[in-house]
Amino acid sequence: MESVKRANQRLRNYPLLLSKCSVTAAAYAACVTTDLNVSHKLCEKEFQLFKQCLQKAASEMKTRL
């Protein structure tokens, strides 16, 4: 049951992580929503920046994604 508690705690941290990366999240969302025909790797640069931001925020909070 300890693993379930840790997983629930990680899920509770997601809103905090997303709030710390709101600028990159908005940039990625804007890129994805500009065209109805989203293709593979269309917004790769924005996604990588968002991913790096989440990873950095998670390491600062000493948690995993």
3-state secondary structure of 21: coil
Backbone angles phi, psi at 35, to 5 degrees: -135, 140
Domain residue extents for the chain: 2-60
Confidence at residue 10, expressed as pLDDT on a 0 to 100 scale: 86
pTM: 0.83
Give residue-wise pLDDT tens across range 17-56: 999 999 999 999 999 999 888 888 899 999 999 999 999 9
Segment 53-63 mean pLDDT:
93
Cβ atoms 17, 58 nearer than 8 A: yes
Between residues 25 and 10, which one has the greater pLDDT? Answer: 25
Confidence at residue 56, expressed as pLDDT on a 0 to 100 scale: 96
Segment 1-14 mean pLDDT:
88
Query: Whose structure tokens read 């890129």?
Result: 31
